[in-house]
Homo-oligomer: A and B are copies of this chain.
Amino acid sequence: MDTPYPALLDDLKANTHVLAFDIFGTVVDWHGSIVREVQALYPSVDANAFALAWRAGYQPAMARVRSGELGWTRIDELHRLILDDLLPRFGLAHLSEAERVHLNRVWHRLDAWPDSVAGLLRLKKKFTICSLSNGNLGLLTNMAKRAGLPWDCILSAEVFRAYKPDPATYLGVAQTFDVQPHQVMLCAAHHDDLEGARACGLRTAYIERPLEFGASQPKDVSPQAGNDLHVRDIHALADALGC
């Protein structure tokens, strides 16, 4: 990481109460997990293309909720809408309802990045750690239970009935814990998410996840202005925050 000014680090250590984590890509490896499951279940499918196509449907699906075209719809349902569109394109139109339900739940079975559990356990000793994900509560609970993610509290767009980057989500974390926005730090691997949080007065930490989209599509993780911290992974975040 770039070394921030010592005064900034002291301020962050003294005044941050809550670390809110983005989940998909930041704490768990959605691409690798979906590739592994699809390869095992349907070996003839291009699992990399399948995972990328499924994820590519995510923002447009949430946009339909944000615009009001769809009423409040949970990510489980949005993932299923995208999946049903996707299956014929990958020669899987024949999948039964039960097979579709099982495959859709792969999002509950995502594996954590190797540093996530140990890094979160370090941070949890000093801070309140929570999720702030567009994933629904049931999905996030099942994921945490399976992967051992030690959240103090699971927060989700579902609690606030709004998808990130709606300010209601970022400010909702501060309100939930009865602290000021600057006492909350959003930790995420996506600059647009961090930008939304910063606009609400939250602190921000960018976490590099160069392989979020797989080894064939490495992500540009060079620092961008505006974030309070830029770290390689969650261990490095714990180092920076003195845990």
Contact = CB atoms under 8 A, between A and B. Distances in A.
A76 interface: yes
As for how many copies of this chain the complex holds, the number is 2
A99 interface: no
B152 A153 contact: no
Interface residues of A, number: 20
Contacts of A155: 137
Contact of A153 (B154, B176, B177, B178): B154
**Does more than half of chain A's interface fall in helix, strand or loop, or is it mixed?**
helix
A159 B178 CA distance: 16
Given A153-B154, A154-B153, A159-B159, A141 B76 contact: no
Contacts of A136: 176
Contact of A145 (B76, B145, B152): B152
25 contacts: A76-B178, A128-B141, A128-B142, A128-B145, A130-B141, A136-B176, A137-B153, A137-B155, A137-B159, A137-B176, A138-B176, A138-B177, A138-B178, A140-B153, A141-B152, A141-B153, A141-B176, A141-B177, A144-B152, A144-B153, A145-B152, A153-B154, A154-B154, A158-B176, A159-B159
- Lowest 9 CB-CB distances: which A-B pairs, in order? A141-B153, A138-B177, A137-B176, A153-B154, A138-B176, A145-B152, A141-B152, A138-B178, A159-B159
